């Protein structure tokens, strides 16, 4: 039952994903969460985020920022990094992910999602059929509703990591 929340991949950060290798394997579109995935909550795009999106464009990727935040938060960030965006996305609903793929002209076969939360980001991507990368939150300061979700995420991640260790050791 918890497996519906399991990420397909985990990385330390969005900045540690092997984007060039994924492109070589056929990936063409990336949907990103913003807050605590690319920058701390509410922070403008920094040099690292801007450089990442420049790198992604140079590789050949299409990108969309998918956020449950309102336009005054999302639009300026998208303009700074040079990416399309969807605000008020309704994650974990499938519609935002599907709209993002439509905007990029990609499919579930050549799109990935990158985010920091299991119950919105990862679950929504999985419901939409998109491989999900779970990254560690950038900053520990978060809104209270997210702090509460993080406590539940720890339980799910415990079982996820236990499953991964069993698979690595060849246990069933």
Query: In the chain, how many domains are there?
Result: 1
d(CA 162, CA 171): 11
- Return the CATH number at 158: 3.40.50.1000
15: Cα within 13 Å, side-chain hemisphere:
13
Output the pLDDT for position 154. 78
d(CA 93, CA 104): 18
> pLDDT tens-digit profile of 41-94?
889 999 999 999 999 999 999 999 999 999 999 999 999 999 999 999 999 999
Output the pLDDT for position 99. 98
Rounded to an integer, the average pLDDT of 98-107 is: 98
Output the pLDDT for position 165. 79
Residue span of the structural domain in which 85 resides: 2-169
Predicted confidence band at 172 (pLDDT cuts at 50, 70, 90)? Answer: low
């Amino acid at each position: 039952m918890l497996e519906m929340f399991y990420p397909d991949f985990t990385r330390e950060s969005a900045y540690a994903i092997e984007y060039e290798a994924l492109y070589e394997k056929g990936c063409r579109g990336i949907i990103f969460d913003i807050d605590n995935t690319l920058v701390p909550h509410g922070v403008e795009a920094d040099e690292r985020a801007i450089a990442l999106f420049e790198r992604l464009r140079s590789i050949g990727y299409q990108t969309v920022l998918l956020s449950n935040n309102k336009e005054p938060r999302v639009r300026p960030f998208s303009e700074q990094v040079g990416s399309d965006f969807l605000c008020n996305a309704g994650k974990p609903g499938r519609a935002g992910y599907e709209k993002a793929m439509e905007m990029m002209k990609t499919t579930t076969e050549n799109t990935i999602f990158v985010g920091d939360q299991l119950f919105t980001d990862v679950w929504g991507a999985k419901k939409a059929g998109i491989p999900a990368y779970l990254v560690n939150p950038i900053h520990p300061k978060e809104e209270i509703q997210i702090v509460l979700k993080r406590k539940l995420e720890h339980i799910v991640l415990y079982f996820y990591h236990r499953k991964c260790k069993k698979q690595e050791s060849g246990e069933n």
